Structure 1
Amino acid sequence: MTVLEFHLTGYRRTWRSSVFSSFLLPLLTVLSFGVGVGAYVDGGVNGFSYLDWMVPGLIASTALQVAIGESSWPVLGGFTWHKIYFSQIAAPLRIGDMVGGLLAFVLLRALASSVAFLIVAGAFGALHSGWAIATLPVALLLAAGVSLPVVAFAASITSDSYLAILFRFAVIPMTLFAGVFFPVESLPAVVRPLAYLSPLWHGVDLCRAASLGVAPAWSVSGHLAYLALWVAVGWWLATSRFRKRLIH
Structure 2
Amino acid sequence: MLPAFVYWLFRYRRTWQSTAVVSIANPLLFLLAIGAGLGTLVQGDVEGVPYLRFLAPGVLAAAAFQNAFIDAGFGVATARGRERVYQTAIATPLSPGEVMAGHLLFVGLRVFVGALAFVVVMACFGLFSSFGTALAVLLAATLTGIAPATVVAAWAVTVTDFPRLNTVFRFVVMPMYLFSGTFFSVEQLPDPLQSLMYALPLWHGADLCRSLALGTATLGTTTLHIAYLGALAVAGVLIGRVTFRKVLYV
TM-score of the aligned structures, taking structure 2 as reference length: 0.95
Matched with 1:200 is: 202
Matched with 1:68 is: 69
Amino acid at match of 2:100: V
Deviates more, 1:101-110 or 1:134-143: 134-143
Q: Assess, with a 3 A threshold, how the Cα gap between structure 1 residues 189 and 183 changes in structure 2: closer, same or farther.
A: same
Identity %: 38
CA distances 1:108-128 after superposition (whole Å, capped 9, x unpaired)? 111111111111111111224
Q: CA deviation at 1:74?
A: 1.8
Matched with 2:124 is: 123
Q: How does 1:206-225 map to 2 (within 5 A)?
A: 206-215=208-217, 219-225=221-227
Matched with 1:245 is: 247
Amino acid at match of 2:205: G
2:97 and 2:245 in contact (8 A); partners too:
no
What is the alpha-carbon distance in structure 1 between the residues aligned to residue 49 and residue 118 of structure 2?
19
Q: CA deviation at 1:132?
A: 2.8
Amino acid at match of 1:37: L
Q: CA deviation at 1:217?
A: 10
What is the alpha-carbon distance in structure 2 between the residues aligned to residue 134 and residue 196 of structure 1?
22
Amino acid at match of 1:142: T
Matched with 1:26 is: 27
Matched with 2:88 is: 87
Matched with 1:103 is: 104
Q: CA deviation at 1:131?
A: 2.0
1:205 and 1:216 in contact (8 A); partners too:
no
Q: CA deviation at 1:187?
A: 0.6
Q: Unaligned 5+ residue runs, structure 1?
A: none
RMSD of aligned alpha carbons = 1.4
What is the alpha-carbon distance in structure 1 between the residues aligned to residue 65 and residue 42 of structure 2?
26
Matched with 2:181 is: 179
Aligned residue pair count:
248
What is the alpha-carbon distance in structure 2 between the residues aligned to residue 121 and residue 78 of structure 1?
34
Q: CA deviation at 1:218?
A: 6.1
2:46 and 2:54 in contact (8 A); partners too:
yes
Amino acid at match of 1:39: T
1:67 and 1:143 in contact (8 A); partners too:
yes
Q: CA deviation at 1:51?
A: 0.4
Q: How does 1:100-179 map to 2 (within 5 A)?
A: 100-129=101-130, 130-179=132-181
Q: How does 1:32-51 map to 2 (within 5 A)?
A: 32-51=33-52
Q: Assess, with a 3 A threshold, how the Cα gap between structure 1 residues 217 and 33 changes in structure 2: closer, same or farther.
A: farther
Q: Unaligned 5+ residue runs, structure 2?
A: none
Q: Alignment partner of 1:90: what SS? A: coil
What is the alpha-carbon distance in structure 2 between the residues aligned to residue 46 and residue 81 of structure 1?
47
